[in-house]
């Protein structure tokens, strides 16, 4: 099998618990089962949640079939990937050992190239590579971004999440400047969205600011759903559960939008960090106030 390219997508947000891993496993599942794509999921979080949710936890040797082993021994994904519980999906698992990465590689100038080496030749085997990351700026995140063609930012529709993705956008812009000028932004994916005034007000707020800052906001959003907790309980993607129609419909729209965008490609568009309140003239305190006022003006 040979492809011109693989789409390598890092899912990241500096804020924790915003639906990154949930998005990785559900998008991977649908790409593989609904859209017939071959998918490699790299679990770059030492919590190993993606490894577990994709049914790979019982199927790997924790000594030799992990991301840590591959990075530490300069091995390719081919040496460490395992089949999980689903057709067309392979996983590079992670364990607690991955915690050592920052100390082992953070000071090395070659650290940033770790994932490029790991993924060399991946287009021969996979259509999509999805990388799940930890909510932290560390060498694993930087190295994943340096090897990616796209990044996607899952975020809750709440003001507390704003700084997390703005910090991530700032980091990605530095990676574009210094290490990877082919890193495109897929945009912000709102997850756990409820039909409540506070969420609606926040969404209106970021629609305006993202547009000004040239950062895409995916039109498709993921609703808040009990099926996600049921999926966690059974260690499986929620969209694979019989009866999880609504959440499946949401994720299918997201996956369609991702496929459309990555196939279209186009130039890398740098975000206007000033418009996001990161630099110079715009005060981020003022911006926070604007979000709150926007929300408080809505009847609860
Ligand atoms: N659409 C949703 N509806 C309801 N709950 C959700 C939804 N998406 C995620 N959650 C819940 O939010 C919590 C965090 O989700 P998840 O683990 O995917 O976030 P994360 O960003 O990967 O977290 P971390 O930063 O710790 O890696 C989990 O309890 C998950 O079940
Ligand atoms: Mg996670």
Instruction: Give 34-59 pLDDT, tens digit per residue.
Output: 999 999 999 999 999 999 999 999 99
pTM: 0.94
Instruction: Give 60-118 pLDDT, tens digit per residue.
Output: 999 999 999 999 999 999 999 999 899 999 999 999 999 999 899 988 888 999 999 99
Return the pLDDT at 281.
42
Q: What is the mean pLDDT of residues 160-183?
A: 92
Question: Which residue's CA is the nearest one to ligand 1's atom 7?
Answer: 192
Which residues are in the CB-under-5-Å shell of ion ligand 2?
A: 20-21
Taking the centre of ligand 2 as the mean of its atom positions, its distance from the CA of residue 278, in whole angstroms, is 25
- For the cut 50, the answer to whether the pLDDT of residue 280 exceeds it is no
Taking the centre of ligand 1 as the mean of its atom positions, its distance from the CA of residue 158, in whole angstroms, is 14
Return the pLDDT at 110.
86
Q: Which atom of ligand 1 is nearest to the CA of 24?
A: 18
> CATH for 7-296, among 3.40.50.150, 3.30.1360.200, 3.90.79.10, 3.40.50.300?
3.40.50.300
Q: Residue 282 — pLDDT band, cuts 50, 70, 90?
A: very low
Q: Residue 300 — pLDDT band, cuts 50, 70, 90?
A: very low
Taking the centre of ligand 1 as the mean of its atom positions, its distance from the CA of residue 244, in whole angstroms, is 17
Q: Residue 278 — pLDDT band, cuts 50, 70, 90?
A: low
Q: Which residue has the higher pLDDT, 297 or 48?
A: 48
Return the pLDDT at 160.
83
Return the pLDDT at 161.
85
Kindly identify the ligand whose nearest atom is closest to the C-alpha of 194.
1
Q: Please tell me the least confidently modeled range out of 21-35, 89-103, 186-200, 272-286.
A: 272-286
Q: Which residue has the higher pLDDT, 52 or 277?
A: 52
Return the pLDDT at 205.
86
Of 159, 256, 173, 242, nearest in space to 205 by CA: 159
């Amino acid at each position: 099998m040979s492809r011109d390219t693989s789409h390598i997508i890092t899912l990241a947000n500096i804020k924790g618990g915003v639906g990154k891993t949930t998005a990785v496993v559900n998008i991977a599942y649908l790409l593989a089962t609904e859209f017939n794509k071959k998918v490699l999921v790299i679990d770059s979080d030492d919590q190993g949640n993606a490894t577990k949710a994709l049914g790979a936890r019982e199927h790997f040797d924790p000594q030799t079939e992990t991301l840590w082993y591959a990075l530490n021994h300069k091995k390719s994904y081919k040496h460490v990937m395992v089949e999980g519980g689903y057709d067309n999906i392979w996983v590079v698992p992670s364990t607690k050992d991955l915690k050592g990465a920052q100390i082992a590689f953070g000071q090395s100038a070659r650290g940033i190239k770790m994932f490029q080496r790991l993924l060399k030749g991946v287009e021969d085997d996979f259509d999509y590579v999805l990388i799940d990351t930890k909510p932290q700026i560390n060498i694993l995140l930087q190295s994943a971004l340096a090897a990616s063609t796209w990044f996607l930012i899952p975020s809750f529709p709440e003001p507390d999440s704003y700084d997390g993705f703005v910090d991530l956008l700032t980091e990605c812009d530095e990676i574009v400047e210094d290490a990877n000028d082919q890193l495109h932004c897929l945009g912000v994916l709102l997850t756990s969205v409820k039909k409540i005034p506070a969420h609606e007000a926040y969404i209106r707020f970021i629609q305006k600011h993202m547009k000004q800052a040239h950062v895409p906001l995916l039109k498709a959003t993921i609703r808040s759903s009990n099926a996600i907790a049921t999926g966690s309980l059974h260690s499986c993607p929620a969209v694979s559960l019989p009866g999880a129609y609504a959440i499946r419909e949401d994720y299918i729209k997201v996956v369609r939008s991702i496929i459309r965008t990555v196939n279209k490609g186009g130039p890398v568009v740098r975000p206007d960090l000033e418009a996001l309140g990161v630099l110079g003239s715009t005060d981020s305190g003022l911006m926070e106030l604007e979000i709150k006022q926007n929300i408080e003006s809505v009847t609860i």
